[in-house]
Amino acid sequence: LTCVNEYRVEALDICNAFLAAPLVHDQPIWMQLPTGFPPELLPHSDEAPAAVRLRRCLYGLRQSGKEFYSTLSTWLRSYGLVDTATDPCVFTKRLSDNSMLIVSTFVDDLLLFSKHQHHIDD
């Protein structure tokens, strides 16, 4: 596809991807703080609590991948990309010059394809 259409390709890795995804679910997740955790790092507390409620995903949580995909796909859709009917990890957008921007996702890695570099850079 890339060679036939003379598309340019850009690869991206989203650093600390899961930490960007908020935990959106009905059941709150609580985490026990490690021994020796400094209480001054917690807001409004002189004494460290036994556990804290997680607001963002962490690596190792079962739902982190799903929550990150939900956050990423919402963000891509806000820029006018549409996920394909055959693969929910491939997003496309028809551009004003009648070319295509294609974004392929795999966990926290992205491949961007377009005929013109400025479409990828934008």
| pTM of the predicted structure, to 2 decimals | 0.79
pLDDT at 97: 85
Which uninterrupted H or E stretch holds 77? Answer: helix 64-78
Give dist(CA 28, CA 53) in Å, integer: 7
The tens digit of pLDDT for each residue in 1-59 reads: 788 888 899 999 999 988 888 887 677 888 888 877 777 777 665 665 677 888 889 88
pLDDT at 49: 66
Six-digit token pair at 1?
């596809």
Amino acid letter for position 10:
E
pLDDT at 35: 79
Residue 41's CB: how many other CB atoms inside 10 A? 9
pLDDT at 92: 95
Which residue, 97, 122, 98, 102, is CA-closest to 113? 102
